Amino acid sequence: MSAQDDGKIQAERDAWAEKAAAQSEWKDHWFTTSSEPIEPLYTPLDLDDHDYHRDLGFPGSYPFTRGVYTNLYRGRLWTMRMFAGFGTAEDTNARFHYLLERGQTGLSTAFDLPTLYGYDSDHEFSTGEVGRCGVAVSSLEDMEILFDRIDLGSVSTSMTINSPAAVLLAFYVAAAERQGVGPEKLSGTTQNDILKEYIAQKEFIFPPEPSMRLITDTVEYCTRHMPRWHPISISGYHIREAGSTAAQELAFTLADGFAYVEAALERGLAVDEFAPRLSFFFNAHNDFFEEIAKYRAARRIYARRMREKYGARNERSLLMRFHTQTAGCSLTAQQPENNIVRVAIQALAGVLGGTQSLHTNSMDETLALPSDKAVKIALRTQQIIAHESGVTNSIDPLAGSYLLESLTDRMETEAEAYFDRIDELGGVIPAIEKGFFQQEIARAAYRYQREIEQRQRTIVGVNDFVDPGEKIEIPILEITDEMQDRQIARLRALRARRDDNAAGRALEEIDRVCREGENVMPALIEAAKAWCTLGEIVDVMREVFGTYTEPAMF
């Protein structure tokens, strides 16, 4: 743009602003979902110091703002991956088959809380929680039933498991081996992101240091033996669900990602050896443009840091590949059918942001785990976006929008400011121990709630457009105590029939490798095959590593 053009646009913009200011607006405060101010109009003036080659480039080329793949969705659509898990392994296996038969292209497993905390289904802390929030998996036997009649050599499986991720990965590797599929053929992801557990989701077991060691063990093992597996999915999703802003989600997630990179470098792995297998996971909230800007900024920041700070040379090390899930926290219990529309808008943001895979929430998720019908509508939402809306025809179609590019730049600036603050606190783990992330998120969550209650923010059906005397008329999935009883009976039968001596030896070996600092994965796989249970294995680790309690703050 020439200086002369600039001057003309500036003059016209000023004239426009004067006219606009003279007109009334129907509300006083204009801000994004993240409570950030937003202008009524963006023009070329907002992109004055933009450089196309430096800041955007081409899809599949540095800095990857426009996407990690050259032809993006023209080459292959995103993976439609619905997160599923409830009851026993049989119940969830049936849901997996239901989804695969309806065109889903990857599996995603939700485990129940006892499994996430490394307790067997018959532990006293598991009472009332078995199969409620996900599927109960206490042993290799459960894992085999979960994937019954599913070829682990051809399906890609994501497992949302963190503190005991190494153990569940071992169960999966052992289950595949019994199907005749070697680890080198397995494709999928373990979430395995402990830092965001301390920050947001709170499903931690061990203190940060041994947790980081376990993660680095899995990264190392996968680098050597599972070339198609993503050992970590560095997750902003839960940070956002806990109430963060979009910029906090972006910054904290990337900071976590760089902490894992540094841990693997300290282990002696070369950046280009492991970085191509790192993956990310973001939220898709309501604010359409703010979300798209977040994804684009994420790719750009990541590529720049990986190249400039960590010296990555392999282009695949620079690619931020990510999964997206629509925002559970945005769904309303009131008029739940409206959630179908929210999910469609959020999913569209994920697609326009260039996601590699997508989970769309079901309309009934503020009430219970999703019913078959609700899940089907959520999956169909993705198929309609993919095949009917036309948005997949062209790559990164919103690039060049004055608004979107301005928001993308602002996201990057805000993230950089957070990186500086985290550095000042001594890094991610010291910042966790000081409660920095937790306080920032709690403050943002409270502000958001106040904005709703003070009617500065409208939530349809909640604080406006309310249906008084509304009756909920959608079917609710019920989890029964019978499922818990069945699971516990199977687990006890397994313990009764296995060779206890072999199991005991396998547990002693885990104790040894944990203490001596050897990679835990081979011993875990052996323990899985000796029918050691999750709780038994994690108990050994709890004994060696200790447990973590967070300071209670609000």
Partner 1 sequence: METERIRIIVAKPGLDGHDRGAKVVAAALRDAGMEVIYTGLRQTPEMIVEAALQEDADVIALSILSGAHMTHFPRVLELMREKGMEDILLTGGGIIPEADMAELEALGTGRLFGPGTDTTDIVAYIQQWHASRSDAS
Interacting residue ranges for partner 1, rule: CB under 8 A: 113-114, 116-117, 119, 125-129, 132-133, 197, 201-203, 241-243, 329, 331-334, 366-369, 442, 445-446, 449, 452-453, 459, 461-463, 472, 476, 479, 549-554
**What's the CA gap between 145 and 170, in Å, rounded?**
15
Alpha-helical (H) ranges within 226-337 are: 237-241, 246-266, 271-274, 288-308
Minimum distance, C-beta of residue 534 to partner 1, in the bound complex (Å): 14
Task: Report the residue number, 305 or 359, with the smaller CB distance to partner 1.
Answer: 359
Considering beta carbons, is residue 427 or 435 the nearer one to partner 1? 435
Q: Which two tokens stand for residue 123?
A: 């532990």
Q: Give the Cα separation of 276 and 410 in Å (integer).
A: 27
For the record, the structure tokens of 447 come out as 């502000």
Identify the CA nearest to 535 among candidates 93, 112, 234, 139.
Answer: 139
* Spatial contact of 421 and 539, defined as CB atoms under 8 Å apart: no
DSSP assignment, residue 371? P
CB of 355 to partner 1, least distance (A): 24
Question: For partner 1, which is the closer residue by CB, 60 or 435?
Answer: 435
C-alpha to C-alpha distances, 149 to 152, 344, 531, nearest whole angstrom: 9, 32, 21
CB of 111 to partner 1, least distance (A): 12
| Tokens 């090390």 belong to residue | 317
Least distance in angstroms from the C-beta of 452 to partner 1: 8
Rounded to an integer, what distance in angstroms lies between the CA atom of residue 370 and that of residue 73? 28
> Least Å distance between CB 127 and partner 1?
6
Task: Check if the beta carbon of residue 279 is closer than 8 Å to that of residue 189.
Answer: yes
Shortest distance, position 438 Cβ to partner 1, whole Å: 9
* Helix, strand, coil percentages for the chain (3-state, nearest 5): 55, 10, 40
The reply to whether omega before 475 is within 30° of 0 (cis) is no
Choice between 66 and 486, CB closer to partner 1:
486
Beta carbon of residue 348, minimum distance to partner 1 (angstroms, whole number): 24
**In this complex, which beta carbon is closest to partner 1, that of residue 112 or of residue 409?**
112
Nearer to partner 1, 131 or 183 (CB): 131
Q: Can you count the helices (H) and strands (E) in the chain?
A: 21, 9
Nearer to partner 1 (CB atom), residue 242 or residue 351 = 242
CB of 451 to partner 1, least distance (A): 12
What is the layout of strands, in order, in the sheet containing 357-359? Answer: 229-230, 187-190, 156-160, 106-110, 79-84, 357-359, 322-326, 279-284, 233-235
Backbone angles phi, psi at 322, to 5 degrees: -145, 155
Q: Which residue's CB is nearer to partner 1, number 73 or number 111?
A: 111
| Residue 74, H or E segment | helix 72-75
Nearer to partner 1, 300 or 342 (CB): 342
Distance of CA 479 to the CA centre of its chain: 25
Q: Which is nearer to partner 1, 367 or 425 (CB)?
A: 367
Residue closer to partner 1, measured from CB, 468 or 551: 551
Nearest approach in angstroms of CB 477 to partner 1 is: 10
Q: How far is the CB of 183 from partner 1 (least distance, A)?
A: 30
Q: CB-wise, 94 or 479, nearer to partner 1? A: 479
The conformation of residue 365, written as its DSSP 8-state character, comes to: T
Burial level of 247, CB count in 10 A (0-12/13-18/19+)?
buried
Nearest by Cα to 327 from 104, 107, 33: 33
User: At closest approach, how far in Å is the CB of 449 from partner 1?
Assistant: 5
CB 417 to partner 1: min, Å: 24
3-state secondary structure 381-409: HHHHHHHCCCCCCCCCCCCCCHHHHHHHH
